[in-house]
Amino acid sequence: MKTIASFTVNHDRLEKGMYISRVDGDVVTYDIRMKKPNGGDYLGNGELHTIEHLFATYARNSEVSDNVVYVGPMGCRTGFYLLVRDSVSHERALRLVRDSLTFISDFEGEIPGSKRAECGNYAEHDLDAAKQTARDMLSVLKNWKENDLKYKE
Ligand SMILES: [Zn+2]
């Protein structure tokens, strides 16, 4: 079998940030890397789950919601993938991610979709850790520019 493109990125040199992972037709996949790969510090399961619910809720209620294809966590627990149609500019995608992280940082109350009937592991959430990671990522992406979206060689 072929090695899929995302495995060919040198994860030892990958830092926290936001990158263009791949483009398939009109769908752009962004790599939102929240932890340094193989750095010994990973997103906790509850935290990952809470970020997923809040990130997806925000993105799917945003101005560009019709062009959000998917938001989901990486199995390695170092980040998320965001898939959008290419009618959303890179700059706009970056803004969507920053706005989503701000939403998570400030979130209070009941996590959307966290009732038993709505989710496959409804009790496994960690809002405090999610907020802490969102704040950390906001500082990472504060001055992130379109040029920074390319994986470094
Ligand atoms: Zn869930």
105 compared with 153, residue with greater pLDDT: 105
Q: What pLDDT sits at residue 153?
A: 72
Q: How far does residue 41's CA lie from ligand 1's centre (Å)?
A: 22
Q: What pLDDT sits at residue 140?
A: 98
Distances (CA, A) of 90 to 5, 20, 61, 64: 20, 9, 19, 12
Mean pLDDT of 75-98: 98
Q: How far does residue 32's CA lie from ligand 1's centre (Å)?
A: 19
- Is the per-residue pLDDT at 136 higher than 90? yes
Per-residue pLDDT tens over the stretch 23-57: 999 999 999 999 999 999 999 999 999 999 999 99
For the chain, the average pLDDT equals 96
Q: What pLDDT sits at residue 4?
A: 84
The single-letter code of the amino acid at 90 is H
Mean pLDDT of 89-114: 98
- Report the alpha-carbon distance of residue 147 to residue 38 in Å, rounded: 25
Q: How far does residue 110's CA lie from ligand 1's centre (Å)?
A: 13
- Is the per-residue pLDDT at 2 higher than 90? no
Q: Which of 60, 46, 141 is nearest to 102 (CA)?
A: 141
Residue carrying structure tokens 């997103």: 43
Q: How far does residue 26's CA lie from ligand 1's centre (Å)?
A: 28
Quick one: what percent of the chain has pLDDT higher than 90? 91
Q: How far does residue 103's CA lie from ligand 1's centre (Å)?
A: 18
127 confidence band (pLDDT: 50, 70, 90)? very high
Mean pLDDT of 76-105: 98
pTM: 0.95
Residue carrying structure tokens 């993105």: 59
